[in-house]
């Protein structure tokens, strides 16, 4: 939130500056608390998304390794469906990993 600006009518001050910044400490303190609360919420949400994405990626990797183990047991139509599905699942999980964007 921008501080209020007050017009100066004194002619000697008009040459230097037309506006003076008036700061209200109570408004500044309230916005700071609200900003900190919003920042904490966004960090918690980002941490939650990061954890969920990693758990999803780990699950998809387990699905992929299950397909590889199934391939060692023998070749069947089920293996040819299981392996490509698990590879696409892993790739999709990697693509949905959150990136670290500095706001």
Tell me what percent of the residues of the chain surpass a pLDDT of 70. Answer: 66
Length of the chain: 103
Task: Give the mean pLDDT of 27-47.
Answer: 73
Q: For residue 95, give both structure tokens.
A: 């693509």
Between CA 38 and CA 93 the distance in angstroms is: 28
Q: Is residue 64 pLDDT above 60, yes or no?
A: yes
Contact 67, 84 (CB under 8 A): no
Percent with pLDDT over 90 in the chain: 26
What pLDDT was estimated at residue 15? 53
pLDDT greater at residue 51 or residue 9: 51
Is 60 exceeded by the pLDDT of residue 48? yes
Task: Band the pLDDT of 99: cuts 50, 70, 90.
Answer: confident
Question: Going along the chain, which residue ranges are E strands?
Answer: 4-7, 19-22
CA-based nearest residue to 92, from 64, 71, 51: 64
């Amino acid at each position: 939130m921008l501080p209020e600006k007050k017009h100066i009518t004194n002619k000697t001050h008009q040459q230097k500056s037309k506006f003076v910044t008036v700061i209200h400490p109570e408004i500044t303190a309230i916005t700071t608390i609200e900003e900190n609360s919003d920042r904490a919420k966004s960090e918690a949400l980002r941490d939650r998304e990061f954890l969920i994405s990693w758990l999803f990626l780990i699950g998809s990797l387990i699905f992929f390794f299950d397909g590889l183990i199934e391939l060692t047991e023998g070749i069947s139509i089920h293996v040819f469906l299981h392996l490509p599905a698990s590879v696409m699942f892993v790739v999709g999980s990697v693509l949905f990993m959150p990136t670290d964007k500095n706001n």
